[in-house]
Structure formats: C-alpha cells, structure tokens
Amino acid sequence: MQQSPILVIGKNGKTGSRVNQRLQALGYATRPVSRSTHPSFDWEKPATWRSAIEGTDTAYVTYQPDLAVPGAASTIKAFVRVAAEAGLQHIVLLSGRGEKGAERAEEIVKASGLSWNIVRASWFCQNFSESFVLEGILSGELVLPAGDIVEPFIDADDIADVVVAALTEPGHRNKLFEVTGPRALTFAQCVQEISGALGRPVKFRTVPIDVYINALDEQGVPGDLQWLLHELFTVVFDGRNCNVMPAVEEVLGRPATDFKTYVQKTIESGVWDTVRRESA
Ligand SMILES: NC(=O)c1ccc[n+]([C@@H]2O[C@H](COP(=O)([O-])OP(=O)(O)OC[C@H]3O[C@@H](n4cnc5c(N)ncnc54)[C@H](OP(=O)(O)O)[C@@H]3O)[C@@H](O)[C@H]2O)c1
C-alpha cells in the first residue's frame, strides 16, 4: 500500500471530495487541499503550491475555475514544473471534453516527464444538485441557453471511481480516459426526468445566450464566471460532445451510472427537498 499521502487538489469539489472519501475508505493516506485547508492550495497563489505537494508522490489535480479559461494552460505548466521539483511522480488530471484550453493543459501534463492519466469528463450530473443548475430545480423553473443539444451527463461518483483506479492501479498509467454517462439527454429531458421522479412540476425554458448573460449580470454574478458560462454554452455545448464513450466500463468493468439512478439517489439525499429547505 502507498506510504506517502495521495495529494487531492480540490478537497471540497464535486469530484475531489468523492475521490478523497474513496481513498480513505480503501485505507490510503490522503492530503486533501484547497484554499480553506492547512496547508492551503490556491491556484491563484503559486507560493502555496510547493508546501502542499512536498512529501507526496501521487496527485489528483482539479483546476479552478475551469481549464477553458484564458491562462489555465500556462498555470498548469508552472504547476507541473513545481510538482516535478517537489518530487511528484504521478499526476491524474481532471479535464473537460471539447475544450481547447483543456487540451493544451492535457498536452503539458503528458509532456511533463511525470507519469500521468487524463480523466476527460462530460458535464456532471451533479451540476443539477451541487452547482449552478440546482437553484432552477428548486425554484420549479430552469432557464438556460441550451436547446436541443444532447449531453451524456456523467455521475461524479463514476468519475471518482475512475480517478481512484488511475491513482492506485499502475496498470492504467499514461492513458487518457474520456468518461461519459451511458445516455445523451437534452437539459429539457433531464428536467423532465427529475420532475417526474420528484412528483412535482419543474419546467425548462431555453433563452438566447445574451438574455441569459444579462440576467446573470443583474444577479451580480462576477464577470469571469459570466465569461466561463458564455464559453461553455456557446463553444463547448454545441453538439461536439454528444457521443457516449465506453471508458467508465473499460476501467471499472461495470456500466456507467444512468441519469435515472443519479436522480433516484439525489432524491434520497434530500437536496431537492423544498419542504425541508423552507422549514430549516
Ligand atoms: N462541472 C462540470 O460539469 C465539469 C465537467 C467537466 C470538467 N469539469 C472540471 O471540473 C473542475 C471542477 O469544476 P467544478 O465546477 O465541478 O468545481 P468543484 O469541483 O465543485 O470545486 C469547487 C471547489 O474548488 C475550490 N476552489 C475554488 N477556487 C479555488 C482556487 N483558486 N484554488 C484552489 N481551490 C479552489 C473551492 O474550495 P475552497 O473554497 O476550499 O478553496 C470549491 O469548493 C474544473 O476544472 C472543471 O473544468 C467540470
């Protein structure tokens, strides 16, 4: 079993938290880091990187806010240099499908001299329950600049299982896993499935991208997040990522989790329970 702790960058993230839990349950020592931990790790403060890395030889790396943002690849380049100097040997990078900036970051990791895995993921199911789409589900109407484009949403639990295999099983080294869910759905179809399973009406309405961005602006959403959502809904969410890929089954020997199963377990978690929220 691994002696030095496995570094998990993104302790509080949708996949980082799950990867950390799984590793600990398997008996691995971990060092989960983010801006709020000791030692801390902040992508915007390179001075925090070295002390977070030292003493580890394997790392799961999730970048913030997204590898699609300008400058992400040069930050990753600086990071892998520090990581190699600090003694890191194996890096598992979470990447996003169809993003040019993410592909540049992937190439930097592959050329770093470290052993590597890239886990290149489709959009997460958990955006509906742990991120910017949650509010629409709770309010009863989700409004997004997304029409008939389908996306094979992936369950973050599946990503975490693939990442743990990549971190702990040397037979997977130096491979890219393009991970997706087993079924491609539009946002409208996702909302219909959630609404049906919840037994309460949740509507979906599509709006032009400019209307969506103006609404974000009025709500005080920061400019860089507006830029990212504009990029994701216009460039990345254009149909380029609609195909389902077999990597989850290839790595784990079981099918990827269906959206229906994700919906069922999320209902059981209570996160979409509006009655409980109102009385809390
Ligand atoms: N969401 C998707 O559908 C999707 C799909 C494909 C790929 N991805 C990739 O997944 C990654 C994570 O995205 P996510 O939106 O799902 O976020 P997330 O994993 O939910 O991570 C959020 C956490 O990141 C930490 N964080 C924020 N800024 C940070 C910084 N400057 N330095 C270090 N940690 C920071 C925060 O914890 P602290 O406050 O403790 O720092 C926050 O709780 C991104 O690289 C994205 O490209 C996402």
Would you say residue 35 lies in a domain?
A: yes
Would you say residue 196 lies in a domain?
A: no
Q: Provide the sign of the torsion angle of the four alpha carbons 227, 231, 234, 237, taken in this order.
A: negative
* Neighbouring residues of 32: CB distance < 8 A, sequence distance ≥ 6: 8, 11, 16, 17, 20
Would you say residue 279 lies in a domain?
A: no
For ligand 1, atom 15, which residue shows the shortest CA distance?
65
Would you say residue 236 lies in a domain?
A: no
pLDDT score of 275: 73
User: Is residue 218 predicted with pLDDT exceeding 60?
Assistant: yes
Would you say residue 265 lies in a domain?
A: no
Q: How far is the CA of 14 from the centre of ligand 1 (A)?
A: 7
Would you say residue 207 lies in a domain?
A: no
For residue 95, give the ligand 1 atom closest to its CA: 7
pLDDT score of 186: 97
Contact 204 CB / ligand 1 (< 6 Å): no
- Give the domain extent around 22: 6-123+155-181+242-256
- Domains of the chain: total: 1
Contact 123 CB / ligand 1 (< 6 Å): yes
Give the domain CATH number at 91.
Answer: 3.40.50.720
Q: State the Cα torsion 44-46-48-51 to the nearest 10°.
A: 150
pLDDT score of 256: 98
Each residue's pLDDT tens digit, 70-80: 999 999 999 99
For residue 37, give the ligand 1 atom closest to its CA: 40
Would you say residue 14 lies in a domain?
A: yes
Contact 121 CB / ligand 1 (< 6 Å): yes
Contact 151 CB / ligand 1 (< 6 Å): no
Look over the chain and give the mean of its residue pLDDT values, rounded to a whole number.
95
Q: How far is the CA of 32 from the centre of ligand 1 (A)?
A: 13
Would you say residue 135 lies in a domain?
A: no
